Amino acid sequence: MGWLNGFIIANWIGIGSNLDNCGTGLAYGSEKIKFPHWVNAIANGVGCCTALLGAYAGEVISHYLTLYQAQWAACIILVCIGLFFWYVGYIHPLTSRHKQKMKIKKPGWREGIILGLALSFTNVAGGFGATVSNASTVWATTAAITIWGYIMIWLGNVIGIGVIARLLGRYSSFAAGLLLILVGIHQVLG
């Protein structure tokens, strides 16, 4: 029964640490942007590394960077991405002499790394918190955080492209930006 309990706890930590990933996938999907699987893998590879970092070095990090500071860093990055969605959707068309709509490009490896860093600050805390109580769950927790991170971005993107993009129409940039801003604020408040 001990391994089952550890498995369940690791998966709950994995899901809880990655709810913001679902919001990110929804935001891109509402703009009808398919989040490539390889970029998702890069973002969650970064998440895996930060979960391990949290599991093995949480005590050291807490001396230099508080959880509060890490949450604010994630918030700022995600809010900036959300504001960029608003700029591209509404401000740029009004201020530009060119009447072509600026397109948000499909994310590449750079965006995967930046999003991986922005979304993985909770992984540090999750990895650290899980291993403080039970050091034998390091790899199970790290694997759960990584796997659920990938699933949540993919699921959010599929739902965003399939349902939300059709429902929102021309307001999709507003909704995508708002969703990323709310995910960023959740980093600080959650």
Interval 97-130: pLDDT, tens: 765 655 667 788 888 888 888 777 666 656 655 5
**Does the pLDDT at position 4 exceed 60?**
yes
Q: Which domain holds residue 171?
A: 38-189
- pLDDT tens by residue, 71-105: 776 677 768 877 887 887 778 777 877 656 556 67
Whether 177 maps to a domain, the answer reads: yes
The fraction of the chain above a pLDDT of 90, given in percent, is: 5
Exposure class string for 21-33: b at 16+ Cβ within 10 A, else e: bbbbbbbbbbbeb
Whether 23 maps to a domain, the answer reads: no
At residue 133 the predicted structure's pLDDT band, cuts being 50, 70 and 90, is very low
CA separation for the pair 11, 155 (Å, rounded): 16
**Does the pLDDT at position 151 exceed 80?**
yes
* Interval 162-186 mean pLDDT: 73
Greatest mean pLDDT among 1-5, 115-119, 169-173? 115-119
* Interval 3-19 mean pLDDT: 72
Whether 1 maps to a domain, the answer reads: no
- What is the per-residue pLDDT for 149? 87
Q: What is the DSSP string of 114-155?
A: HHHHHHTHHHHHHHHHHHHH-GGGHHHHHHHHHHHHHHHHHH
Whether 24 maps to a domain, the answer reads: no
Task: Pick 187 or 174 by higher pLDDT.
Answer: 174
- What is the per-residue pLDDT for 42? 92
CA separation for the pair 7, 98 (Å, rounded): 55
- Of the listed ranges 16-25, 46-55, 57-66, the one predicted with least confidence: 57-66
Whether 5 maps to a domain, the answer reads: no
What the block records as the tokens of 23 is 């919001």
- What is the per-residue pLDDT for 186? 74
- Of the listed ranges 6-10, 57-61, 120-124, 175-179, the one predicted with least confidence: 57-61
Whether 6 maps to a domain, the answer reads: no
- What is the per-residue pLDDT for 51? 78
Whether 32 maps to a domain, the answer reads: no
Whether 8 maps to a domain, the answer reads: no
Picking from 29, 52, 58, 53, the residue whose alpha carbon sits closest to that of residue 154 is: 29
Average pLDDT, the chain: 75
Number of structural domains found in the chain = 1
